[in-house]
Amino acid sequence: MPTDSIPFRTKVTLPDGRTLPIGKLLCIGRNYAEHASEMKSDVPDEPMVFLKPASAVVRDGESVVLPPQSEDVHHEVELVAVIGRGGHDIPEAEALDHVAAYAVGLDMTARDLQAAAKERRHPWSVAKGFDTFAPLGPLTPAADVGDPQQLVLELTVNGDTRQKARTDRMIFPVATLIHHCSQIFTLQPGDLLYTGTPSGVGAVAEGERLEATATRCAPLRIQATRRS
């Protein structure tokens, strides 16, 4: 299959009209206690951060391609904060002013490869970083979304609810995550923060239709396919 067959979405248009390259994908692990519990993981005492490449982004109406290297690709529905104003060491009280928009996203995860990596104490880059493994929904201006901790996140697969939770269940709220991450990585406009998944993660099969929603955010519709 030719390398240009994946529809790379390497730019994002913010609500203020700026079209920017997608920068870092900052992703948070174990940010809902019920999900840490279903993964038999401890609840962290500080945010657990990993990165995905921008080449993993696909948009509403596109496909997640299940890779031949994995037999067990899971959905993780997440609220995504889209950074519109950069900064380093951003105070928590000002953190949400750096968010231009919110979207629903999916942190697709090759669970079998992640389990093997955990066992070998290897990084998660492969399990999390395949092409199409970071679906990003349409952007909704932050002002229209309001408090990011007062949303209901939901994922259906072929119409059946698989994940549903209020974002006030996050262990570390969005403002804390931005403050924490900005002490490590200078944030830049076009960076995306995937804020962690609630419980109910599970395997995705070829042909399944995923729909992710969050209160006041535009929905994300994705189809799972497999490379022929």
Residue 76 touches Mn ion, criterion: CB under 5 A: yes
H-type helices in the chain, by residue range? 33-38, 111-120, 125-129, 142-145, 174-182
How near is the Cβ of 133 to Mn ion at its closest, in Å? 10
Residue 107 touches Mn ion, criterion: CB under 5 A: yes
**Could you tell me which of 40, 34, 31, 47 has the C-alpha nearest to residue 177?**
47
How near is the Cβ of 140 to Mn ion at its closest, in Å? 20
Residue 110 touches Mn ion, criterion: CB under 5 A: no
SS3 3: helix
Tell me the residue number closest to Mn ion, measured at CB.
107
| C-beta of 62 vs 76, nearer to Mn ion | 76
Torsion of Cα atoms, 10 then 163 then 146 then 187, to 10°: -40
CA distance 105 to 103: 6
Residue 172 touches Mn ion, criterion: CB under 5 A: no
Q: Which residues contact 115 (CB under 8 A, 6 or more apart)?
A: none
Q: Choose the stretch contacting Mn ion; rule: CB under 5 A; options: 39-47, 61-69, 99-107, 136-144.
A: 99-107
| C-beta of 76 vs 211, nearer to Mn ion | 76
DSSP symbol at 27: E
Q: Choose the stretch contacting Mn ion; rule: CB under 5 A; options: 69-77, 84-92, 171-179, 220-228.
A: 69-77
How near is the Cβ of 31 to Mn ion at its closest, in Å? 8
How near is the Cβ of 35 to Mn ion at its closest, in Å? 8
- Cα–chain-centroid distance for residue 83? 13
| C-beta of 197 vs 213, nearer to Mn ion | 197
Q: Which residues bind Mn ion (CB under 5 A)?
A: 76, 107, 197
